[in-house]
Amino acid sequence: MNSDSDLQIAGDILEVPHLLQPPREHPATVAEFAGLARSIAADRSQWEHLLQYDATSRWYHRLRTGPGYEVWLLSWVPGQGSGLHDHGRSSGVLTVLDGALTEHTARGTRALSVGSQRVFAPGYVHEVVNDSLEPAVSLHVYYPGLTEMPMHAARCAVAEVA
């Protein structure tokens, strides 16, 4: 009987170099960008010493750049928010490093705790807020690098009278 499940590899597959993919120097897929964010999050020595907190506006720092992408570190004191916005033509990965944030979208509200990640496509409209009583820190990876952040008017629910 000959089927796909009968496939066997003889010998050492690592000795067949033309079948192996060379390791990538930079992320190229959504999973690799999310992995980059997780690896930076896990190594506090890369970002903790840079943190600042500003009571008047969100603090941010560009942590890293690569071919076509940027990594940003943001801090949020209680009550600070981004306002309703999108990221233009950039896709992104948002990762919570410390504290808790809340994401508001047209579809609802989502609580984001330490380790939470949100991956979003170009044009994704949301608002991120620190609704807690403690500061929060987040990491944002944008591909391509962030060139615009259009703001949107807050959506109001209008009750219809029958």
**Which CATH number is 76's domain given?**
2.60.120.10
More confident residue, 3 or 148: 148
pLDDT value for 23: 72
Q: What is the pLDDT of residue 154?
A: 78
- What's the structural domain count of the chain? 1
Which candidate, 21, 26, 24, places its Cα nearest to that of 143? 26
pLDDT (tens digit per residue) in 99-126: 999 999 999 999 999 999 999 999 999 9
Token output for 147: 């060139």
> Is residue 104 a part of any domain in this protein?
yes
Q: Is residue 105 part of a domain?
A: yes
Q: Is residue 62 part of a domain?
A: yes
In a domain, 131, yes or no: yes
126 in Cβ contact with 84 (< 8 Å): yes
Average pLDDT for the chain? 89
- Residue 23 belongs to domain spanning: 14-143
User: CA 125 from chain center: how many Å?
Assistant: 14
Which strand (E) or helix (H) includes residue 118? Answer: strand 117-120
Q: Is 152 domain-assigned?
A: no
Instruction: Report percent pLDDT > 70 for the chain.
Output: 83
- Going by pLDDT thresholds of 50, 70 and 90, the confidence category of residue 156 is very low
DSSP one-letter string for 30-97:
HHHHHHHHHHHHH-GGGTGGG----SSS-EEEEEEEETTEEEEEEEE-TT-B--SB--TT-EEEEEEE
- Whether residue 21 lies inside any domain: the answer is yes
Distance CA 74, CA 137 (A): 6
In a domain, 82, yes or no: yes
**57, part of any domain:** yes
pLDDT number for residue 24: 78
Q: Which pLDDT tens digit goes with each residue over 37-56?
A: 999 999 999 999 999 999 99
Model pTM score: 0.82
